[in-house]
Amino acid sequence: MSNASVHTGRHFLQIPGPTNVPDRVLRAMDMPTIDHRGPEFAQLGLEVIEGSKKVFKTKNPVIIYPSSGTGAWEAAIVNTLSPGDKVLMVETGHFATLWRAMADKLKLDVEFVPGDWRHGASPEDIEARLSKDKAHSFKAVMVVHNETSTGVTSRIHEIRKAIDAAKHPALLMVDTISSLGSIDYEHDKWGVDVTVSCSQKGLMLPPGLGFNAVSDKALEASKKNSSLRSYWDWHEIIAANKGGSWSYTPATNMLYGLKEAIAMLMEEGLDNVFARHKRYSAATRAAVETWGLENLCLDPREYSPILTAVVMPEGHDADQFRKVTLDNFDMSLGAGLSKIKGKVFRIGHLGHFNDLMLMGTLAGVEMALDLAKVPHRAGGVMSAMSVLTGRDAKASQAKTAVA
């Protein structure tokens, strides 16, 4: 066995989800199985349902499924839309494309706005398309908030304004699978009708829970659509949730973990959580810029706080670089997906994460760039450190004062 295959210490999981699960959450899940129809579970059920509303920032129902985010995608569609309904979707990356593929399978009529995978959904383009739709044939606008494959965050609040400016009644459906609990998001305030999410990203849990947060308008639509559904039906679950139960066997121990994860978010304070992720994003971008590498996201307004996708120099393979990183430093970086496979690697900096974990991550990347003989400049780690300690801000202020 070669030395490169033997590692001590902890593995660095720096993909943008599943993320590191805190010990507190793991210990909370390490409980005996209980009666999911009994009073102890009912109390837990009510607590996690109400706690989830705080994270989504909604007063309306949040439906929790034993599912992946893909299941939550399907639940959003089959509860609100009928086969043949026309929807507007935007190609922001790999996961927007997958959601579109599901919509096709469920027989929706999809208008898919092409994109370059380097920008988010354009509010201006959405407004223009809806303004032309005088017959209101579009029944929904479906957008990925944070595109995990590209590190691009779409401006959902501006998209809501665009829909309103067009005076269009389409539902607004948003995927927050990688953004919930890490990037500021306002289900009620932004007028979102269905918010889709899952457990293994900002909520710091293992995979296994899917979520739909729903507006009154979405609930009304769900009473009229003709899509067949049973497991995903909102109304049966909401009725059972009133007593802290579910209409089928819930993921009991995952809900113990969810309760603890919500407690951790509330203890830190959501605004502090969002600010922390922005710091890590800024520090990572500073490192990438110093290395002389390119950020896949081109619009500074759309930089993702939870991951940075880095473009490899021409002639260098991102997957080979990731292999060097894993073999030598026991660190997993995110792969490029679909049409950017081998062209980018993704640095996840979200969830249960702190300054030293980020510095260790970036040090591993810089060392691996050397070993993989990827053209770059040294000093990225120092640039990131300056952001985290505030030295870059102080230097900028000093320059401004001298000027």
Binding residues: 346
For residues 59-98, one letter each, b for 16 or more C-beta atoms within 10 angstroms of the residue's C-beta and e for the rest, the string is ebbbbbbbbbbbbbbbbbbbbbbbeebbbbbbbbbbbbbb
- Of 354, 357, 355, 381, which is closest to residue 370 (Cα–Cα)? 381
Query: Rounded to whole angstroms, how far apart are CA atoms 317 and 360?
Result: 23
Q: Are 321 and 368 in contact (CB under 8 A)?
A: yes
- Of 293, 304, 277, which is closest to residue 380 (Cα–Cα)? 293
Binding residues for substrate: 346
Query: Rounded to whole angstroms, how far apart are CA atoms 109 and 89?
Result: 10
With a CB cutoff of 8 Å and minimum separation 6, the contacts of 101 are: none
Q: Are 245 and 42 in contact (CB under 8 A)?
A: yes
- Of 188, 198, 152, which is closest to residue 307 (Cα–Cα)? 152
Q: Are 258 and 48 in contact (CB under 8 A)?
A: yes
Q: Are 341 and 334 in contact (CB under 8 A)?
A: no
With a CB cutoff of 8 Å and minimum separation 6, the contacts of 373 are: none
332: number of Cβ within 10 Å = 15
